[in-house]
Copies of this chain bind each other. A is one copy, B any other.
């Protein structure tokens, strides 16, 4: 069993698609750019008091880690130990909403990745825009030597650098960088110095080593860092900015660059800005940390919210399109790097509505302008408007009307999700317009009407449940977002999960179109049909919903699947009335699911009784729905889910698809989608 302090975390500036990664014992960390994987380069956080052996945190990459540092018994007895690598039980790690802090002895190293509301950039002052988009996070390196009679030396350094800053910035900054791409810096000052060398530890702490102590600058060295001297009896804090810089055009298909490059001409300028405004970032991080701590969430929930937040931020990307200057908001799909996957967009909705609803509108318009298509149905006839799964992958925009994910002629993973994405666009658009922007709703009335018609077309028999696959599937079959859980959740046609989303989409469409003066009788009737169909199948199964609302499947498929209730979240967060009978059916279904295979022995949630692959983002969302229906999640569920993330998936950060036995990652690693748990805070706010 690994230690609770041993898990990967992303620390990411908003919209920069870059993160500083740290946390796995024995594995290093470092910067990921247009990616979320750790480079596993050594990160040295170390100190020495007087002549004692230095302590170093165990974030040493494969290239630099030595067996004897971890295990004195494995040491070559002829080789003196040169440092003491801290074991995870020896140090403290405090993981908060906007910070991550490691402490040992007098040392306290915090990485702060603050976040908050970001209004539309066009309405911001230059300073506020730069504060919001600066591609840096802040670290503080504190050392309390007040109780000591010996001076202390403290090191923060990283492997993988190629240059140092002092000379290139005319002495203003100290620190190091890899080319023009990423780096870290502190303001020059008394008791601080810059290091570039082959071996950060021996250069800093072993004056008798190959390089004399006064030679801190060897430009061939691949390790760079900052050294802080703390006299006996003193307490000092060094503020460090850590940042990444991706210059020029970074995408294909549509050419775009990072929005921040307009304001920051270089890595150095961004780091310098972050240092000048470090108070702002430190205060903002404190505010967020305090806010989560003051919430009604228990400690486990707080961990899950903090973890999800860091994963979301790491995948965010704010671009400016080259041909017209248009800002483009992208949330990349964790390890998969797909861009604005629409079935993730809808799960990021609650987060974005809390902090920057305009980014949702940006994505919706981008889908409408470039990716919307009109299809035919597999069984013949016109389909209607819908949207592809995503906008591309790995900074390559797909061609108009196409995703990177979907392929024809398949019945499983990689098939089309046309109905699901249609519902996702409608739900995002109506939720956004209804709550935040009625004018936007009016502007997009025609698109909403086309979507209404398209939903109708795909429900040929009028029972409120999708029954028509798009012709895009070829010989294959349509899927839902639950593409690889099991067929109970994967197949789109008659999906109970999609039925509840269809009901919600119709209710929100009705509300919105009615507000625009449309006659929405047919829409309301279709929503009522959906309720009737759902309720009908519930009665025929004694209070539990089958995963698919069709005669054949309901008699043979006894899998219980929690996401049947998922669609209710859009009604619950928008004050749309849920018919009492639908509430009752959904509550009964959940109760039955909990009893029949959807709660593990240790209390974890398993989305489908037929699969041990369970998705954290969807658990969190459905927990919110369940609580609203009066079914409070047990505290031990949160405890188990923390165990999954903190232990089972410790190497893969926030991980969506995990094994319900132990939380081992199955897929969707290093993922942004878990941020659905911000719903818990909305809930807390209301109560």
Chain A contact residues, CB within 8 Å of chain B: 34, 162-163, 167-168, 177, 179-180, 211-212, 215, 218-220, 247-250, 252-253, 266, 336, 338, 392-396, 398-399, 402-405, 407-409, 414
Contact = CB atoms under 8 A, between A and B. Distances in A.
A253 B163 contact: yes
Given A394-B162, A396-B163, A179 B250 contact: yes
B409 A250 contact: no
A249 B247 contact: yes
A84 to B, nearest CB: 28
A338, A393, A396, A409 pick with most chain B CB within 10 angstroms? A396
Given A163-B253, A167-B399, A212-B409, A219 B179 contact: no
Given A220-B393, A247-B248, 15 more contacts: A34-B179, A162-B395, A163-B394, A167-B399, A168-B252, A177-B252, A179-B250, A179-B395, A179-B396, A180-B250, A211-B407, A215-B408, A218-B404, A219-B398, A219-B404
Contacts of A179: 34, 250, 252, 394-396
Given A162-B394, A179-B396, A394-B162, A404 B220 contact: yes
Contacts of A336: 220
A427 to B, nearest CB: 25
B252 A220 contact: no
A669 to B, nearest CB: 15
A408 B405 CA distance: 57
Contact of A180 (B252, B392, B404): B252
A212 B476 CA distance: 12
Contacts of A408: 215
Main secondary structure of the interface of A (DSSP, over half): loop
A248 B181 CA distance: 12
Contacts of A211: 407
Contacts of A399: 167
Nearest to A254: B168
A396 B219 contact: yes
Nearest to A403: B219
A102 to B, nearest CB: 30
A320 B174 CA distance: 27
A250 B163 CA distance: 13
18 contacts: A34-B179, A162-B393, A162-B394, A163-B253, A167-B399, A168-B252, A177-B252, A179-B252, A180-B252, A211-B407, A215-B408, A215-B409, A219-B393, A219-B404, A220-B338, A220-B393, A220-B404, A247-B249
A180 B162 CA distance: 23
A330 to B, nearest CB: 15
A133 to B, nearest CB: 19
Contacts of A247: 247-249
Nearest to A222: B394
Nearest to A248: B248
A138 B414 CA distance: 35
Contacts of A402: 219
A247 B261 CA distance: 14
A73 to B, nearest CB: 33
A655 B563 CA distance: 61
Contacts of A219: 392-393, 396, 398, 402-405
Contacts of A338: 220
Nearest to A249: B180
A186 B167 CA distance: 46
Contacts of A405: 219-220
Nearest to A409: B212
Contacts of A212: 409
A396 B165 CA distance: 11
A407 B248 contact: no
B163 A407 contact: no
Contacts of A394: 162-163, 179
A212 B393 CA distance: 22
A291 to B, nearest CB: 38
B396 A253 contact: no
Contacts of A180: 249-250, 252
Contacts of A393: 162, 219-220
A271 to B, nearest CB: 13
A488 B408 CA distance: 70
10 residue pairs, one from A and one from B, having the closest CB atoms: A219-B404, A163-B396, A248-B248, A162-B394, A167-B399, A247-B248, A220-B404, A212-B409, A218-B407, A162-B396
Nearest to A177: B252
A668 to B, nearest CB: 14
A505 to B, nearest CB: 28
A567 to B, nearest CB: 28
Contacts of A162: 393-396
Contacts of A215: 407-409
A454 B393 CA distance: 60
Contacts of A409: 212, 215
A633 to B, nearest CB: 35
A180 B250 CA distance: 7
A253 B163 CA distance: 9
Nearest to A476: B212
A249 B253 CA distance: 23
A533 to B, nearest CB: 35
Which among A168, A266, A407, A414 has the greatest number of chain B C-beta atoms within 10 A? A407
Contacts of A392: 219
A393 B162 CA distance: 8
A250 B247 CA distance: 10
Nearest to A267: B252
A399 to B, nearest CB: 4
Contacts of A404: 218-220
Contacts of A414: 218, 220
A219 B252 CA distance: 13
Nearest to A197: B407
A554 B414 CA distance: 77
A336 B403 CA distance: 42
Nearest to A399: B167
A197 to B, nearest CB: 10
A462 to B, nearest CB: 34
A339 to B, nearest CB: 11
